[in-house]
Structure 1
Amino acid sequence: MTTASPSIPIQTAPTAAQTKRIIVAAAIGNGLIMYDFTVYSFSAVIIGKLYFPSSNPLSSLLMALATFGAGFLMRPLGAIVIGNLADHKGRKAGLLFSIVLMTLGTGIIAFTPSYASIGVTATVLIVLARLLQGLAAGGEIGAASAMLMELADKNQRCYMVSWRAGSQGASALAGALVGAVTTALLTREAMQDWGWRIPFILGMLVGPVGWYVRRHMSEAGMGAQHRPTVTSVFAQRSRTLWFGILLMAAPTASIYIMVFYMPTYLITTLHLSSTISLLTACLAGAVIFVGNPILARVADRQRRRKPIQYLTLIACIVLTYPAFLVLTHGAGVLLSLFIIGGYAAVALTNGGASAVMMLEAFPRHHRATGMSMIYSFGVTIFGGFSPFIVTWLMGVTGNPMAPAWYLLAALCISLFALIWFPETVEDR
């Protein structure tokens, strides 16, 4: 093995077995992040009652959702710290650090006593846990995506990176299934007393497994001669960063409203049962997991990255309002499942091609930092507080169509950004 710098090793191309292990290592951390976000979203009503007590149930729910969003405020910092670590010391270093932080945050949520037991300390600990999770998530996506893309041949890049996006769907499916099973098997009293902690404990147990897998994976795709700095990313790639952040509006709003917030929306607004609402998230997660690699295969056959982005964005703009109109006018269980699963198939299966388009706009030594910054700022601005915003809007206006208007605004922003995003391919 030779070295280009003291901190970043050059290695030969990984074997097929090493490639599989790296895919698992990248996916398991992303999966843990999305799993924890999923189960928190599904437990928002209970968490609001236990840690943000109020005489008004809506106020408790809003505080729980605001805490969910507070974790996103740490994502830009995580993007800078962990993304730069991954560009400077190697992808493995960044991925190990992020999974430790995520596991710690999940454990705090799993075992923190309620407000009734320890008072305001409980509230502070829940907020701290979400901040740690946000810090971890901020750098995770960029490092994992860059590593997967750098493993692949030019005609397989979208497919490789799609497993990172697909893992989010698998994790949403796992989180929803755990939530659905515990809700179905436990009484309402048991669920509110201790049952809601089970999904978080299970997620915490995944952390050590992910750390072990990442600790023993080979470093791949490195070897840049540069020593990157955050300021150089801003200085040299500002246009790519700004339009990339705006591009994140549509996928971020779609997943956080149609997958993570949808169970709460179906329960509190459309008055469906908890089990049925969780099953819709299971379906959406399954569609994301299966659909991303399939669409990525199609994208890899295309000469350019943008056309498939235009197709999915325009289709979502056309479908969003009618979908919510049907949902809010008494759609039955089967029709609700079809609408949510269909929207997920259109809006949330293009993660591989979209991420590769953004990664290819950065040179190798800026990829992890640049992608992490695009993702974390975009998710913070357009996704993290979206459940809070649409809940507040519905509370103020009494209009259950508020999520549709929010989604349409995000879709139009991304369409505008796609037109101006620099479609260049840097540093193969």
Structure 2
Amino acid sequence: MQHDNNRRLNRQDYKTLSLAALGGALEFYDFIIFVFFAAVIGDLFFPSSMPDWLRQVQTFGIFAAGYLARPLGGIVMAHFGDLVGRKRMFSLSILLMALPTLAIGLLPTYSSIGIAAPLLLLLMRLLQGAAIGGEVPGAWVFVAEHVPRKRIGFACGTLTAGLTLGILLGSLVATLITTLLPAAAIAHGGWRIPFFIGGIFGFIALYLRRWLQETPVFVEMKSHKVLSEGLPIKSVIANHKKEIVVSMLMTWLLSACIVVVILMTPTYLQKQLGIPAALTLQANSMATIALLFGCICAGWVVDRVGASKTFIVGSLFFGICSWAFYHLVALDSTWLKPMYTLVGFSIGVVGAVPFVMVRAFPAEVRFTGISFSYNLSYAIFGGLTPIFVTLIMRITPMAPAYYVLTLAVIGLGLGVYLNRDLNNESKIEARLAEAGQ
């Protein structure tokens, strides 16, 4: 099951990357737009008598529920993705995301139906979580199995940048709404607009994926009758424990960096530092654009120097940048835009995370292995991170800085580990030759 791994990316490769990245961007927008309006949603979906900090915790708790639902949706979709095809599950996830996104925009608030309001909001987030649980791992597998092996890093980095574009779309839409509408208008219905837009985006993405083709790796595995026998998840847990642990730690790095620096920081800047919402969202958009380019750069670099050097240097860089950002902005808000942009670019090292995960598992259980590791880790770390950081901020307002610095240490440790074990090229090349990519 070999194909030309030394060729350059061709027109079909770029088409696949473009459509996959754009579809992922539209779906990721649907999933994260919630966090940009967390403050407004918290005011509308919980009692006004509730303390502000508790309302924030409960709102982020509902946000976290989407992450907690990811493992189940991801494992189910990955199971069928390894047995019946990558493309089918890659398209199904879109539909499962668009419908609850539209529903959130239609939900009545606490003042209309009481406790049923946050419960319905929770249900919609669970459905969104199940959908995104299959989307991201499936997308990485899909593009990695289309491109030459020596271009996997660039492909995965580009796709991760596409997911980042979804965050940027959310930030831009939130910026436009908060800039053009007064706070009262947003509270009285303006917050619903981005969810309606998200539903439309979802159906556009579903249409676009009609033009994608099944991966050559899966087609060849099917023709040679070497698809996984039995339950793929059973094989993954039994035979790939080390790969699961490494992939979960990689996912913690990826998820928490984006959750804290990109998704939580605008609310942090508004609540803790008193910076106007419009200004923080403008800076957030600049940081997200920088993150997009950072992911592509990390993918390009990891193809050339390997995962170990990429994560050692990249983790040191984003640790220094993030620490400087939170401290300087707390002292002088004029640092906001340039430092937020720099820290956004620095966390682009997470664009190299899927490179390690795709190469860790053999093709016949690749979708399941990545999905299980990624979604379980995201449920634990990505989902609980907002709650944890919010609670720690009651002790120190610099909680985000300390948390991100901890992530930099984890990234550095992973880089050192990859240098002596998982990134051993002879082992990887042997595994890839045996797996078919």
TM over 0.5: yes
- Is 2:154–2:303's contact at 8 Å kept on the other side of the alignment? yes
Match of 1:44 in 2: 38
Output the CA distance in 1 between the equivalents of 2:370 and 2:107: 33
Cα offset, 1:21, TM superposition: 4.0
- Is 2:312–2:411's contact at 8 Å kept on the other side of the alignment? no
Match of 1:7 in 2: none
Aligned 1:326-405 pairs, distance under 5 A: 326-332=328-334, 335-351=335-351, 353-395=352-394, 397=395, 399-405=396-402
Output the CA distance in 2 between the equivalents of 1:376 and 1:270: 33
- Is 1:142–1:370's contact at 8 Å kept on the other side of the alignment? no
Find out whether 1:284 has 2:294 as its counterpart: no
Equivalent position to 1:183, from 151, 162, 178:
178
- Is 1:249–1:414's contact at 8 Å kept on the other side of the alignment? no
Equivalent position to 1:59, from 36, 44, 54:
54
Match of 2:129 in 1: 134
Which has the higher mean CA deviation after the structures are superposed, 245-254 or 410-419? Answer: 410-419
Distance 1:29 1:81, change over 3 A: farther
Listed one character per residue, the Cα deviations across residues 170-195 of structure 1 (whole Å, up to 9, x for unaligned) are 11211111111111111211111111
One-letter identity of the residue aligned with 2:34: Y
Output the CA distance in 2 between the equivalents of 1:253 and 1:350: 10
One-letter identity of the residue aligned with 1:341: T
Output the CA distance in 2 between the equivalents of 1:162 and 1:38: 20
Aligned with 1:328: secondary structure? helix
- Is 2:69–2:126's contact at 8 Å kept on the other side of the alignment? yes
- Is 2:255–2:378's contact at 8 Å kept on the other side of the alignment? yes
Aligned 1:138-177 pairs, distance under 5 A: 138-177=133-172
Q: What fraction of aligned residue pairs are identical, expressed as a percent?
A: 30
- Is 1:390–1:403's contact at 8 Å kept on the other side of the alignment? yes
Output the CA distance in 2 between the equivalents of 1:19 and 1:415: 32
Output the CA distance in 2 between the equivalents of 1:115 and 1:308: 48
Aligned 1:94-113 pairs, distance under 5 A: 94-113=89-108
- Is 1:142–1:367's contact at 8 Å kept on the other side of the alignment? no
Give the length in aligned residue pairs. 411
- Is 1:287–1:341's contact at 8 Å kept on the other side of the alignment? yes
Cα offset, 1:53, TM superposition: 2.1
Match of 1:226 in 2: 227
Output the CA distance in 2 between the equivalents of 1:114 and 1:410: 37
Which has the higher mean CA deviation after the structures are superposed, 27-36 or 217-226? Answer: 27-36
One-letter identity of the residue aligned with 2:98: T
Aligned 1:407-418 pairs, distance under 5 A: 407-418=404-415
Aligned with 2:393: secondary structure? helix
- Is 1:253–1:383's contact at 8 Å kept on the other side of the alignment? yes
| TM score, norm. by length of structure 1 | 0.90
| TM score, norm. by length of structure 2 | 0.89
Distance 1:137 1:178, change over 3 A: same
Match of 1:239 in 2: 242
One-letter identity of the residue aligned with 2:400: P
Equivalent position to 1:31, from 25, 31, 34:
25
Which has the higher mean CA deviation after the structures are superposed, 417-426 or 106-115? Answer: 417-426
Distance 1:17 1:118, change over 3 A: farther
Cα offset, 1:196, TM superposition: 0.8
- Is 2:137–2:370's contact at 8 Å kept on the other side of the alignment? yes
Aligned 1:86-97 pairs, distance under 5 A: 86-97=81-92
One-letter identity of the residue aligned with 2:365: H
- Is 2:13–2:147's contact at 8 Å kept on the other side of the alignment? no
Listed one character per residue, the Cα deviations across residues 383-423 of structure 1 (whole Å, up to 9, x for unaligned) are 2222222112112x1x2101111122233233334433522
Aligned with 1:152: secondary structure? coil
Aligned with 2:331: secondary structure? coil
Which has the higher mean CA deviation after the structures are superposed, 61-70 or 386-395? Answer: 386-395
Match of 1:22 in 2: 16
What is the RMSD of the two structures over their aligned residues, measured on CA atoms? 2.1
Q: Where in structure 2 are there 5+ consecutive unaligned residues?
A: none
Match of 1:260 in 2: 263
- Is 1:170–1:288's contact at 8 Å kept on the other side of the alignment? no
- Is 1:180–1:278's contact at 8 Å kept on the other side of the alignment? yes
Which has the higher mean CA deviation after the structures are superposed, 23-32 or 62-71? Answer: 23-32
Cα offset, 1:82, TM superposition: 1.2
Listed one character per residue, the Cα deviations across residues 10-47 of structure 1 (whole Å, up to 9, x for unaligned) are 9xx9x955434432442234213431343211100111
- Is 1:33–1:133's contact at 8 Å kept on the other side of the alignment? no
Find out whether 1:272 has 2:269 as its counterpart: no
- Is 2:143–2:156's contact at 8 Å kept on the other side of the alignment? yes
- Is 2:35–2:264's contact at 8 Å kept on the other side of the alignment? yes
- Is 2:292–2:348's contact at 8 Å kept on the other side of the alignment? no
Output the CA distance in 2 between the equivalents of 1:24 and 1:112: 34
Cα offset, 1:263, TM superposition: 0.9
Listed one character per residue, the Cα deviations across residues 60-83 of structure 1 (whole Å, up to 9, x for unaligned) are 221111100111111111221111
Distance 1:356 1:259, change over 3 A: same
Match of 1:77 in 2: 72
Output the CA distance in 2 between the equivalents of 1:104 and 1:306: 41
Find out whether 1:217 has 2:217 as its counterpart: no
Cα offset, 1:130, TM superposition: 0.7
Cα offset, 1:318, TM superposition: 3.2
Cα offset, 1:210, TM superposition: 1.1
Output the CA distance in 2 between the equivalents of 1:185 and 1:324: 28
Distance 1:411 1:249, change over 3 A: farther
Q: Where in structure 1 are there 5+ consecutive unaligned residues?
A: 5-9
User: Which structure has the highest helix share of the two?
Assistant: 2
